[in-house]
Amino acid sequence: MQRAIQPHRVVVVGGGFGGLEVTRALHRAPIHITLIDRRNFHLFQPLLYQVATGSLSPANIAAPLRSVLRRQRNCTVLLGEVGGVDPRRHRLVLDDDELPFDTLVLAAGATHSYFGRSEWATAAPGLKTLEDAIDIRRRIYVAFETAERESDPLRREHLLTFVIIGGGPTGTELAGALAEICRYTLRRDFRVIRPRDARIILLDAGERLLPSYSPRTSEQTSRTLRNLGVQVGVGCKVLHVDATGVDVATPDGRFFIHAETVLWAAGVEATPLGRKIAAALTLDVDPAGRLPVLPDLSLPGYPDIFAIGDMAHCRDERGSPLPGLAPVAQQQGRHVARLIRNRCKGQTKAAPFRYANRGTMATVGRGVAAAQVGNYTSFGFFAWLLWLFVHLLQIVQFQNRVLVLLQWSWSYITWNRSARLITNMHPVERRHQRAHQLDQHAGGQQRESIGRTARL
């Protein structure tokens, strides 16, 4: 009788695009994988803005990790919080436990970055988790509801001003979706306010929207958004954000924009876990909190610990950092899985990771998207169909693909958004928040003397 060999133990932290891909790519390997995540589901982040604007339900873009991996018998899923790592003992430290590993893959992703101004987070929530999306959805629809009941025309205007900070794909997509809500979805829903009078302002500190695309695409995107009624302000640096609005430095001077709903889409950084682990391993993170990696994606000095996705600071052949996109994380995941399989077979030679850029895409509005595949760019309906197709295929569970397609078709035909529920709101809380805003509002009025009220 042969003695059973203890299988190689791989621990994967994070069930996002990167972590799930590592796990799945080790499907048939004689390896035991433990996938640990703080949430019990894989989230399809590219469609998070559709939950935030009430087009899709949370469950449509989330798939329970256990359900996704139920047939992969060499994998255990754990719901848990990772506290750190003990590299010498090869152990991952959990909130109330420890997990031994032979190989560790860090794929815990990113959170929003306020560039050191974390006090802005309350006034300008970012969009990274399902709870963020539900919170933003509530803020948007509560703003309309409060405006409908507000008798002061000035405050009504402030309630119907929405500022989105950050002109990357998330900001652009949010602005486009918000404009459509005001113009079409809510058109007949109110009796006092006219939702199409709402102002949607998209601010970016850079020279153009969607900087990772061609300048022509940026121009087309701006034009499309402007046609939808979005006020696009590029070269606008945000100086301050609070519950009453945004203080902006523009090429034309300094403005204060009164707005009760401000959304943050300006920057991301690695989760705090990255810094903790870097400290434990005496490594230095980059300014965005990402871990340094060798060309094979292992951490310097720790050949058994890998970092992938938004947690890794990785550069392409030309030395520019890789973007925080799902395909990057997925390709890195497959790369690390291949490496682990090879090591188990005794092959220690590690090939460097190379990102194969198959293109990027962003929707701008109903039936319009921007796509960039190598040097080929496409803007308009065809790119939108491509976007639709690619995103539907990527959604993890087949049921969700069908549900999302159905809801999209429905929204496209009826212009409606059915998932616009205001949940987790206590009316008393709302009243307090409102009183608080009114107080701050008085403060904001004074501040106006510094600049002038913006009409970008």
36 or 291: CB nearest a copy of itself:
36
Helix (H) or strand (E) holding 253: strand 253-258
What are the Cα distances from residue 48, in Å, to 87, 231, 340? 35, 23, 32
Question: Considering the rule CB under 8 A, would residue 57 count as an interface residue with a copy of itself?
Answer: yes
Contact call for residues 36 and 92 (beta carbons, < 8 A): yes
191 or 349: CB nearest a copy of itself:
191
Question: Considering the rule CB under 8 A, would residue 66 count as an interface residue with a copy of itself?
Answer: yes
Shortest distance, CB of residue 395 to a copy of itself, whole angstroms? 11
Helix (H) or strand (E) holding 147: helix 130-149
**Which tokens belong to 109?**
């992703």
- At 77, give phi and psi (nearest 5°): -105, 135
Question: Considering the rule CB under 8 A, would residue 188 count as an interface residue with a copy of itself?
Answer: yes
Question: Considering the rule CB under 8 A, would residue 156 count as an interface residue with a copy of itself?
Answer: no
**Which tokens belong to 197?**
């009078």
Q: Which of 154-162, 223-231, 310-318, 417-425 is the region at the interface with a copy of itself (rule: CB under 8 A)?
A: 417-425
Cα 380 to its chain centre, rounded Å, is: 23
Q: Which of 9-17, 146-154, 218-226, 300-308 is the region at the interface with a copy of itself (rule: CB under 8 A)?
A: 146-154
- What angle is formed at CA 157 by the lines to CA 423 and CA 232, rounded to 5 degrees? 90
Question: Considering the rule CB under 8 A, would residue 80 count as an interface residue with a copy of itself?
Answer: yes
Residues 326-365 that bind a copy of itself (CB under 8 A): none
SS3 label, residue 343: helix
Question: Considering the rule CB under 8 A, would residue 134 count as an interface residue with a copy of itself?
Answer: yes
Indicate which residues carry an active-site annotation.
173
Pairwise CA distance, residues 345 & 339, whole Å: 10
Shortest distance, CB of residue 97 to a copy of itself, whole angstroms? 7
Question: Considering the rule CB under 8 A, would residue 419 count as an interface residue with a copy of itself?
Answer: yes
Contact call for residues 123 and 166 (beta carbons, < 8 A): no
Helix (H) or strand (E) holding 402: helix 398-414
Pairwise CA distance, residues 150 & 135, whole Å: 22
Shortest distance, CB of residue 56 to a copy of itself, whole angstroms? 8
Residues 6+ apart with CB under 8 A from 321: 313, 314, 315
Q: Which of 78, 239, 280, 288 binds a copy of itself (CB under 8 A)?
A: 78
Pairwise CA distance, residues 80 & 239, whole Å: 38
Q: Which of 62, 108, 328, 336 binds a copy of itself (CB under 8 A)?
A: 62
Residues 374-403 that bind a copy of itself (CB under 8 A): 397, 399-400, 402-403
Question: Considering the rule CB under 8 A, would residue 130 count as an interface residue with a copy of itself?
Answer: yes
Pairwise CA distance, residues 40 & 79, whole Å: 6
Question: Considering the rule CB under 8 A, would residue 153 count as an interface residue with a copy of itself?
Answer: no
Question: Considering the rule CB under 8 A, would residue 317 count as an interface residue with a copy of itself?
Answer: no
**Interacting residues with a copy of itself (CB under 8 A):** 38-41, 57-60, 62-64, 66-67, 70-71, 76-81, 95-97, 130-131, 134, 141-142, 145-146, 148-149, 186, 188-192, 397, 399-400, 402-403, 406-407, 410, 414, 416, 418-424, 427-428, 431, 434
